[in-house]
Amino acid sequence: MKTRTDLLNHLAAKHNLKRYLEIGVQDVNQNFNNIQCELKRGVDPNQVGRPDKDGCVIIHTTSDDYFKQHSELFGNETYDLIFIDGLHTAEQVQKDFQNALKCLSTNGFIVLHDCNPLKEEHTIVPRPTERGHWNGDVYKFACELGLYFEKFNVVDIDNGCGVWNWAGMDIQKDSDGWDGTWNHFDQNRKKLLNLISWDEFIGTNPHL
């Protein structure tokens, strides 16, 4: 079964993406240490484990705080691949996305995790319990991107990985919109998210 790590490494290899930023790292051994990029940065107030190589830095704070300090910490460093997987609310993900755009390189990609929740009970905000499966309501922001950009695609793996890059920036989709309800999302997710399979992602989408 393909994972977010496979998707991130596919993009990195295909587009020669060298500088990686992960928002929300948790345990480095799950994803961060398995990303094949030369330079890696991470942000997470509660991260555990040691980064796999010299030069990797993980900042122990929230994404809002990190983006405020970015230039102080890393000057005008930009990233080719930014993975947003921190606090899973639509509001926070939108902020993370907007901040990520400011330090995304000109051929850069942003990947959003948890865009395709399977059950409404996994989307309740605020998170009802510390444990158990939770996607949050990231899908609401993913729908906005999906409705607006024809070239924003959610790949149907690992809770849904949304992929955005500058190539899709100018393209506005002609769309009927979303009524904001779970049922409408559930019945129209393919169209709302521009949902594609892994095979479509690696095969037929030249911009991805």
Ligand X SMILES: C[S@@+](CC[C@H](N)C(=O)[O-])C[C@H]1O[C@@H](n2cnc3c(N)ncnc32)[C@H](O)[C@@H]1O
Give the interface with ligand X as residue ranges (CB under 6 A): 4, 22-26, 30-31, 43-46, 62-63, 85-87
Closer residue to ligand X (CB): 43 or 147: 43
Q: Which residue is closest to ligand X by CB?
A: 24
- What is the smallest separation between the CB atom of 105 and ligand X, expressed in angstroms? 21
The first and second tokens of residue 178, run together, are: 């979303």
CA pair distance 90, 106, nearest whole angstrom: 25
Closer residue to ligand X (CB): 126 or 177: 126
- What is the smallest separation between the CB atom of 8 and ligand X, expressed in angstroms? 9
Residue type, 47: Q
Closer residue to ligand X (CB): 61 or 188: 61
Closer residue to ligand X (CB): 52 or 187: 52
- What is the smallest separation between the CB atom of 188 and ligand X, expressed in angstroms? 26
- The tally of CA atoms less than 13 A away on the side-chain side of residue 198 is 12
- What is the smallest separation between the CB atom of 125 and ligand X, expressed in angstroms? 13
Closer residue to ligand X (CB): 44 or 80: 44
Bridge partner residues of 164 (DSSP):
110
- What is the smallest separation between the CB atom of 43 and ligand X, expressed in angstroms? 5
Distances, alpha carbon 120 to alpha carbons 125, 139, 172, 183, 191, in Å:
11, 11, 28, 9, 18
State the DSSP string of 83-115.
Answer: EE-SS--HHHHHHHHHHHHHTEEEEEEEEES--
Helix (H) and strand (E) counts in the chain: 6, 8
Q: Measured on CA atoms in the order 32, 96, 200, 134, is the torsion positive or negative?
A: positive
- What is the smallest separation between the CB atom of 23 and ligand X, expressed in angstroms? 5
Closer residue to ligand X (CB): 96 or 156: 96
